[in-house]
Amino acid sequence: MANVAVIGAQWGDEGKGKIVDWLAERADVVVRFQGGHNAGHTLVVGNMVYKLSLLPSGIVRGTPSVIGNGVVLDPWALKAEVEKLRGQDVTITPDTLMVADNCALILPFHRDLDALREDASGDGKIGTTRRGIGPAYEDKVGRRAIRVCDLAHLDDLGPQMDRLTAHHDALRTGFGEPPIDRAALIEQLREIASFVLPYAQPVWRMLGDARSAGKRILFEGAQGVLLDVDHGTYPFVTSSNTIAGTAAGGSGLGPSAVGFVLGIAKAYTTRVGSGPFPTELADATGERLGERGHEFGTVTGRKRRCGWFDAVLVRQSAAVGGITGIALTKIDVLDGFDEVKICIGYRLNGIELDYFPAHYADQSGVEPIYETLPGWQESTAGARSWADLPAAAIKYIKRIEELIRCPVALVSTSPEREDTILVRDPFAD
């Protein structure tokens, strides 16, 4: 049986939470391998709604869940999320939640720096969640990060603190902020260490043992390929690689462990924050998509920008992201449209393109070339087989497959986990 990696094929917010929850019931382990608590997953299980930012989606089902070393971890956000879920009767123990002991930490001054930079950037704002994700990754690659394992050795942290404060105090001075209070920071870390350390372990060993035992591993990505720091709409991207290749390095398993890569894509397109968006609809149709799709960010509450499905972008995501099959979500949001459109190419300065260019100016300047298909008036909500779908909806899905050059493996027809059409079982490959 294959292991499965789940990644977003657009700009995030594609409905990964439901799909991972659906798959987690059949997995033995679920692993988050990149990002931080800037991610947002909403799970609907019966009458309960769970909103996750940092914890792997498998935690709600009691599936052993791992926060891998590729994640940057805000320990206070972790504690708050665990306590919130416990309040919803979710059992979380060191047997169900494991945190890589080599995770880099997000600290209070990372959040400060994130906000200070964003406020000072004027028209150059990236649209970050201001949660310190980028600055924490910077410290990680700058070899000055404090990691989970350091929480057990706070009395030996002097040299690391020297490197950290030498960098950040200079930045803080430039913004008119006082230097880091080292003593106060160490005390904060002592307080949170007693909560975090029971979950900490060398998860690469546990995952290696699970793989050797033939257990199914589900790798859970955050954000989407179009927010990848290399392959996304730079600079309006996240601070990590969101492609499936990151699952190997971000979990401590080799690339051969990843297996089937399931890319999640909405049946239309959304984006939160700044950056290019070729098919964005700033009209009544865009408003209708947003209202029907309840398009507000799980983490920030920000209204999402909405537009038609962009086959060029998803085709590119499938290629660079290593996607084996697509899970198409929210097809029911398109119910009732007289016609639906798919972007099949771009026009830039009179030249047609079949790919999304790398430069921001070109990305902002492309005009979408649309193909129009008939809509459907029947409801797709709750459909669980092809026979339940209108013929026009099936034609729409099949056309998307052709254009993105990647098969559709799953179709989601509502937030309910069972309202899913299984075309190809990722775990069976």
pLDDT category, 45, cuts 50, 70, 90? Answer: confident
Q: What percent of the chain has pLDDT over 70?
A: 98
What is the pLDDT, as a whole number, of residue 204? Answer: 97
Encode pLDDT of 80-130 as tens digits. Answer: 999 999 999 999 999 999 999 999 999 999 999 988 888 887 777 777 788
Is residue 267 predicted with pLDDT exceeding 60?
Answer: yes
Contact 306/46 with Cβ under 8 angstroms?
Answer: no
Q: What is the mean pLDDT of the chain?
A: 93
Encode pLDDT of 350-396 as tens digits. Answer: 999 999 999 999 999 999 999 999 999 999 999 999 999 999 999 99
Between CA 349 and CA 359 the distance in angstroms is 14
What is the pLDDT, as a whole number, of residue 299? Answer: 59
Is residue 298 predicted with pLDDT exceeding 90?
Answer: no
Between CA 292 and CA 285 the distance in angstroms is 11
Which is nearest to 204 in space by CA: 246, 252, 149, 248? 252
Read off the pLDDT of each residue in 22-41 and give the average, rounded to a whole number.
89
Q: Strands, DSSP E only, in 184-335?
A: 200-201, 217-220, 260-266, 269-271, 305-307, 309-310, 325-329
What is the pLDDT, as a whole number, of residue 125? Answer: 76
Is residue 1 predicted with pLDDT exceeding 70?
Answer: no
Q: Strands, DSSP E only, in 317-404?
A: 325-329, 339-348, 351-353, 367-374
What is the pLDDT, as a whole number, of residue 311? Answer: 98
Encode pLDDT of 138-154 as tens digits. Answer: 999 999 999 999 999 99
Between CA 263 and CA 250 the distance in angstroms is 18
Q: What percent of the chain has pLDDT over 90?
A: 81
* Selected catalytic residue, list 37, 41, 110, 168: 41
Contact 268/289 with Cβ under 8 angstroms?
Answer: yes
Encode pLDDT of 203-226 as tens digits. Answer: 999 999 999 999 999 999 999 999
Asked if 74 is an active-site residue, the reply is no
Read off the pLDDT of each residue in 297-304 and give the average, rounded to a whole number.
70
Asked if 294 is an active-site residue, the reply is no
Q: How many helices (H) and strands (E) does the chain have?
A: 12, 20
* Selected catalytic residue, list 13, 74, 114, 150: 13
Encode pLDDT of 226-253 as tens digits. Answer: 999 999 999 999 999 999 999 999 999 9
pLDDT category, 296, cuts 50, 70, 90? Answer: confident
What is the pLDDT, as a whole number, of residue 25? Answer: 86
User: pTM score, two decimals?
Assistant: 0.93
Is residue 41 predicted with pLDDT exceeding 70?
Answer: yes
Read off the pLDDT of each residue in 63-88 and give the average, rounded to a whole number.
96
Between CA 104 and CA 138 the distance in angstroms is 10
